[in-house]
A and B are shown apart, each in its own frame.
Chain A
Amino acid sequence: MKKLTLLVVLLGGVWFLFRSCSGPTEISSPPPPAITRPEPPKAVTLNSVFPKGSDEFKLTFTQEKEGFAQAEWSKGSTKLATIAITDTNTNPSARDKFREASKKLAGYPAAAVGSQGTAVLVADRFQVQVRSTSPAFSAADRDALVAKCNLQALAGK
């Protein structure tokens, strides 16, 4: 009961903070930013791409900005990987590594990002990258997790 009460109070608290943080601020903005923002999709669309959790695995949303969404994939208390979905219209150079990619995952061009990341490019625009955060999560595991994502949801955007 104590934990439930704590959860209810905390839910109310962060909901209140969310409503406040989502509104416009009164701080004047700096000069135009260096990154481009050509109509990125609404975040709720990106979130629909993440794989669903199960009894064994848990998905925790961790960061969300315009054109970017990130979540953690864990098993019990062990964090296995992070999944990041990016609208590469905000960072077009990210597409370069896929140009000569010979590997495909779930039918989409795939490329490595360093030694710990595996990414695919959907509709020549959306990058979905899985990065291992545990030594137990192999490259093969990353491939499988990429394939579990709802990539087709991005293909039609």
Chain B
Amino acid sequence: MMIDQLVDQLPTEGLTVRALQMLDFVAPGQWQNITGFDNMIRHVTGETDPGLVAQVRARALTLYGDADQGYQRAVSIYQLVDSADAKIGLAAMAHKIGESINLLSFLSKVTPQEDKAQTLDLVMKAVAEGVAFCYTNGFPGDSIGDFMGAVSAYERENLIRMSALVVYDGLVPLGPDYGGKLVDALQSFSAADIEGNAVYQRVKGLLPQGGATSFVLESVGAMQGYLGGFAEQRGITLDGVLGRLSGFIDFSESKLDYLAAALDMSTNYMEHTGIQSVSRSLIERAVGEI
């Protein structure tokens, strides 16, 4: 599917959108759920002239259509990394603004993961994020410092996606010490653990080095500090998150692993914001080139 269709089909409401909006406190007002490709063009370029919008659209689609440019691969990674399964029906309950979703009736459909498996999920999604960033934006600048400038300038869709990753795949299922569990898991991860991870199996064909487990293991070690410190750096606490989640979903604080598993199965925040991020970079390039 072409990028314009993907952006056109992004939902304006639902559990994924609500789960992302809940994270607005991390960077207030930065993420806007922009849907519709022409709408995204107008938002990114600041232009409203239909002729110019059509020009940008045409150039963007040409660039996207060339697989060697990397944008398609980035989108594929974001789509594959999400495991949203519509079958449990939780997402379908999320459209009623102002009403809470009662998680109790879904508990029998959800199987939480043990900490080690959940930690590996967190790591795999972070690795996928880094790879997708490279495919989308290349390696900006001429040095590590330049590249770091681009990565540390994460905002809007990029920042909300990283926040969701740390919160929904780290803080909620693993608790405030998710960083410590990352360290522990790093010391015990094996190639067999990685091979057995569902996220890895979905994305390995799109990772560098053919998805070699050695690549993943080295990436885990490199990213542990960044992931582990993300919540504290931005003042994100488990209590704060749970308080906000309770605004639209009924859950038991003694069953946070079920909450995390249910959200994982019912939301596709990586895909949703990943499509928005790729289209933003693509449109910025397109308008820069016309």
Spell out A's residues near B (CB within 8 Å).
Answer: 2, 5-7, 9-18, 20-23, 25-27, 29-30, 33-35, 43-44, 47, 60-65, 68-72, 82, 84, 86, 88, 90-91, 93-94, 113-117, 127, 129, 131-133
Q: Are B139 and A18 in contact (CB under 8 A)?
A: yes
B281 beta carbon closer than 8 Å to chain A:
yes
* A33 engages B66 (CB within 8 Å): yes
Jot down 26 A-B pairs with beta carbons below 8 A, ordered by A.
A6-B226, A10-B148, A13-B130, A13-B226, A15-B144, A17-B130, A17-B133, A20-B208, A20-B219, A21-B134, A25-B210, A30-B67, A34-B62, A34-B65, A34-B66, A61-B140, A61-B142, A61-B146, A64-B139, A68-B285, A82-B284, A114-B287, A115-B49, A117-B287, A131-B45, A131-B288
- A93 to B206: give the CA distance in the assembly, Å: 33
Q: Is the interface of B mostly helix, strand, loop or mixed?
A: helix
Give the A-binding residues of B (Cβ under 8 A).
Answer: 45-47, 49, 52, 59, 62-63, 65-70, 73, 130-131, 133-142, 144, 146-153, 205-210, 215, 218-219, 222-226, 229, 233, 281, 284-285, 287-290
Given A6-B229, A14-B130, decide whether A23 and B209 contact each other with a Cβ distance below 8 A.
yes
Q: CA–CA, A64 to B140, complex, Å?
A: 5
Sort A-B residue pairs by CB-CB distance and give the 7 closest, nearest first: A84-B288, A9-B225, A13-B222, A21-B134, A61-B141, A33-B66, A61-B140
Give the distance in Å from the alpha carbon of A90 to the alpha carbon of B45 in the complex. 21
Chain B residues contacting A7 (CB-CB under 8 Å) are 148
Q: Which of A5, A10, A43, A65 contacts B151 (CB 8 A)?
A: A10
- Contact residues in B for A6 (Cβ distance below 8 Å): 225-226, 229, 233
In angstroms, Cα B68 to Cα A71, docked, is: 22
Residues of B within 8 Å of A116, CB to CB, are 45-47
Tell me the total A-B contact number using a CB cutoff of 8 A: 171
Contact B62 A114 (CB under 8 A): no
A75 to B282, CA, bound (A): 24
Q: Which of B148, B215, B229, B289 has the most CB of A within 10 A?
A: B289
Distance in angstroms from A110 CB to nearest chain B CB is: 15
Contacts of B133 in A (CB 8 A): 17
| A6, chain B: closest CB distance, angstroms | 5
A61–B69 CB distance below 8 A: no
Are the CB atoms of A21 and B225 closer together than 8 Å? no
Q: Is the CB of A127 within 8 A of B289?
A: yes
With A2-B229, A33-B66, A132-B46: A65-B138 Cβ-Cβ less than 8 Å: yes
When chains A and B are docked, how far (Å) is the Cα of A133 from the Cα of B69?
A: 25
Residue of A nearest to B63 (CB): A35
Task: Please determine whether B289 and A91 come into contact, CB atoms closer than 8 angstroms.
Answer: yes
| Residues of chain B lying within 8 A (CB to CB) of residue A25 | 206, 208, 210
Which one of B52, B67, B134, B205 lies within 8 Å of A33 (CB-CB)?
B67
**Contacting residue for B47 out of A2, A63, A65, A115, CB 8 A:** A115
Contact in complex: B142, A47 (CB < 8 Å): yes
Would B153 and A62 count as touching, CB distance under 8 A? yes
* With known contacts A16-B218, A30-B67, A131-B45, A64–B225 Cβ distance under 8 A: no
Cβ-defined contact, B288 with A68, below 8 A: yes
| A9-B226, A35-B62, A113-B290 known; A14-B69 Cβ under 8 A | no
Q: How far is the CA of A65 from the CA of B69 in the complex (A)?
A: 7
Given the complex of chains A and B, what is the CA–CA distance between A27 and B142 in angstroms? Answer: 27
Q: A13-B222, A21-B139 are in contact. Are A84 and B285 (CB under 8 A)?
A: yes
Counting chain A CB atoms within 10 Å of each CB, the highest count among B69, B138, B225, B226 belongs to B138
Residues of the B chain whose Cβ atoms lie less than 8 Å from the Cβ of A60? 149-150, 153
